[in-house]
Amino acid sequence: MRINPRMDDDSYLFTNLGLSFKLWSGFLAGDDEAFEFDCPECGQHIKGVVPKCPKCGVEFVIEDAEEIECPNCSTIIPSSSTSCPKCGVEFEFEEVVVAEEVREAPPPVPAPAPAVQPKPDDSELRKQFPELVAEVKPLLALAKEYDIDTSEGRRLIDKAVRAGKGNDVTAAVGYVKECRKSIRGAIDTRLDTDVEHLEELVQVAKSMNSNPSEINEAIKAVKGKRASGDLHGALEEALKGKKQAEKLTGKYIEAHELTDELESLIVSCERFYVDVKEAKKLLAEAKDAGEHGDWSMMGILARKGREEIMKGLPELMNGELKKAKSVLLEAKAEGKDVSTLVKLLKEAGTAAKQEKYDEALGRLIDFKAEAKHL
């Protein structure tokens, strides 16, 4: 058997104690008192089987050993041997007293820290960026040429620029992609509206006993060029179709455009709690005149409605611009990025000076929406 000192550290390692044959055989005979050995820790001589050293206090663990030392010649032999193959001494039991250190279980190995993910290679994104910008620039120019609203797209460009300055290529590319989608969507919406309007004008021309074939040809051309990806050509064909329709329908197109502009202006003014009761009344009368085919009266009433609203807009704009400036200064004081707010406020002020109040109101509406997102 083995006598192991019960230790709490890795400072000791004990092997065969090499007890004399007399002591060993006495222990094997079952005589606990006859069993003697020296403490493997301090060397104190101990008699009998005891759980710990009476001098140093080290605890012992007694266990079976797979190999033993012959008590006569000290040859190491299997514990199952009944005699020593070297010296021939016989013994009844196959145990030997051996002391070994009981090693403390090693501390648990901490789980490896999660591997640090390498920073994604942005070389591909850097390659995409100029390609995307090359796609967006002509779309912006096209939208501007045909007076298509691209305010959302321009705001996304501003965000892309800021992300680029911060070396955030991923965000910059994302914003440019959104910008491309926004501007393309605005152009598609315009083309959908133009085709729908031209189809309506075909019916108007027929009701006036005019030949709408040229309008139909324009509609076909718009659809064909759009399908082939020629957006510029599609918008140009829509414009040609509109001019041809004006010749056939007289005041119809002008009257409807004035009415649509008045309705849009009323909606914007209501966002700023402007009294538009009189303008709404004139809008209803204009639409009624249009339903009866009186395009001239329709246009006149729409103009009157616009003039009614315009009376109070200069004062309204001054007040709203001041409020917006206060919001801007407060956001800036809080350390927020106000670059987009600055641009929108500047555009609103410029439009107001040019008395383009419907455009100025639109920019202020965008300003409020942007301020909420900060």
Does residue 179 surpass a pLDDT of 80?
Answer: yes
Mean pLDDT of 15-28: 35
Long-range pairs for 170-174: beta carbons < 8 A, 24 or more residues apart:
170/120, 170/122, 170/125, 172/129, 173/125, 173/128, 173/129, 173/132
Structure token digits, residue 242: 């509109």
The pLDDT score that the predictor gives to residue 112 is 57
Instruction: Decide: 171 and 162 in contact? Cβ < 8 Å.
Output: no
Does residue 132 surpass a pLDDT of 60?
Answer: yes
The number of CA neighbours under 13 Å toward the Cβ of 26 is 15
Could you read off the pLDDT of 76-85 as tens digits, one per residue?
Answer: 676 666 777 7
Could you read off the pLDDT of 136-145 as tens digits, one per residue?
Answer: 999 999 999 9
Domain boundaries defined on the chain? 2-78, 120-250, 251-305, 312-374
DSSP 217-248: HHHHHHHHHHHTT-HHHHHHHHHHHHHHHHHH
Q: Which residue has the higher pLDDT, 362 or 22?
A: 362
Pairing of strands 45-47, 36-38: antiparallel
Look up tokens 């797979």; give the residue. Answer: 66
Instruction: Decide: 139 and 187 in contact? Cβ < 8 Å.
Output: yes
Q: Which residue has the higher pLDDT, 360 or 66?
A: 360
Could you read off the pLDDT of 354-363 as tens digits, one per residue?
Answer: 988 888 999 9
